[in-house]
Amino acid sequence: MRPCGIVESSPRGGGIIALRQGALSEVGLGPRDAWHMAADRRMRIEREDKMFAVLKTGGKQYRVQSGDVLRVEKIAADAGETVQFNDILMVGSTIGTPLVDGAGVQAQVIEQIKDKKVIHFVKRRRKHGSKRTKGHRQQLTLLRIGDILESGAGDSGVKAAIGAGIAGYTGVAADKGQYAKNRDEKSEMKKRVATGGAEEKSAETASAPASGDDLKKLSGVGPALEKKLLEAGVTSFAQIAAWTEADIAEWDEKLSFKGRIEREGWVDQAKQFEAEKE
């Protein structure tokens, strides 16, 4: 064991420093504090000796060294694959303009993970108050940094690290094929619309047919409820006026009206509107 009154630092850190118990107490430090300071200094010197690089991915910059483990925005690669970052801003003492030509950083994908959940809560007070709560978990990739190449990265043959949002990305094993399926279906539909094989969906809301009635006249029926009724085939007051108690219960359950039909008196209102037409 080292004497508790003497602390030695690395010779490369400026020579051997001997701090006696009296000198330590004058500056308010104990032997343990001085020992930790010397150890931290040794670690900083060792870290500076290693080759480092500054890479860019996902709109962020990372200072990395071989062996580092870091989390980045989701990369299109499966666990166990080796990828190479080619957007290198700095390697050792070489500074890019803005990138260093031929430089690269290789890394092994450990796993695809998600960040902690972030809750976004918005509350608006005053007359038309409202509240909205949304949760989000950012998708990330856990990497272990391997080789740092100062040149020749273009001839390494290692797969380039591209973000999961880049065009052409078809998902990774962790996505269970759902991402690729959704993306392919969208691309296929766009292709069919462009070649005339399909019609683009209109954003217009459903409207009542020419022979139908304006169901918004019924109490408590707005555009959304009218659309629901039209999609279910209910287009006229005559249909509603003919509903029996069994029909009311069936439509109430089918369209999740929760007793609205009976509560608002739609049947009686529909009979009245039908009588007015005559």
**2-11, 19-28, 104-113, 221-230: the lowest-pLDDT one:** 2-11
Domains of the chain: 11-49 (no CATH), 52-175 (no CATH), 215-277 (1.10.150)
Handedness of CA 147, 152, 156, 159 (dihedral sign): positive
Write out pLDDT tens, residues 92-119. Answer: 888 999 999 999 999 999 999 999 999 9
Closest CA to 147 of 180, 105, 94: 105
Distance, CA of 141 to CA of 265 (rounded, Å): 57
Q: Write out pLDDT tens, residues 140-163.
A: 999 999 999 999 988 888 999 988
Q: What is the mean pLDDT of residues 39-47?
A: 68
Q: Which pTM does this prediction carry? A: 0.47
pLDDT, the chain, mean = 78
DSSP label at residue 92: T
Q: How far apart are the first and last CA of the chain?
A: 108
CA pair distance 20, 38, nearest whole angstrom: 15
Specify which residues 112 forms β-bridges with: 141
Higher pLDDT, 275 or 45: 275
Burial class for 73, CB neighbours closer than 10 Å (0-12, 13-18, 19+)? middle
Mean predicted confidence (pLDDT) in 32-52 = 72
If phi > 0 it is left, if psi is from -120 to 50 it is alpha, else beta; for residue 63 that is beta
Amino acid at 111: E
Residue 204 DSSP code: P
Q: Is 94 exposed, middle or buried (0-12, 13-18, 19+ CB in 10 A)?
A: middle
Q: What is the C-alpha separation between 28 and 55, in angstroms, rounded? A: 42
